[in-house]
Amino acid sequence: MKKKIRKAKATIRIKEIYNELKQIYGAPKITKILQNEGEIISERYVSNIMRENKIKAHYIKPYTITTKDCDYTNK
């Protein structure tokens, strides 16, 4: 019974953090936030809850320049 209550509370808090941070953070960062708040929780537990609730971190691809501004005229 205690496990279900703890899991429900953790699920609610994980969803709150996930939505507050624009659905970008994954299990490692959410775990660190919860641990800083004083919660004793593992990254594996957070990732399992996220997987069960179909919550995924969104990877933001870094911007890369694909074209070069070169002067191709013969000098």
Domain ranges of the chain: 2-52
pLDDT of 5 over the 70 cut: yes
- What is the rounded distance in angstroms from the CA atom of residue 43 to the CA atom of residue 41? 7
pTM of the model: 0.76
Note whether 31 and 46 are within 8 A (CB). Answer: yes
Tell me the per-residue pLDDT of 9-33, one tens digit each, with 9 for 90 and over.
999 999 999 999 998 999 999 999 9
Note whether 17 and 33 are within 8 A (CB). Answer: yes
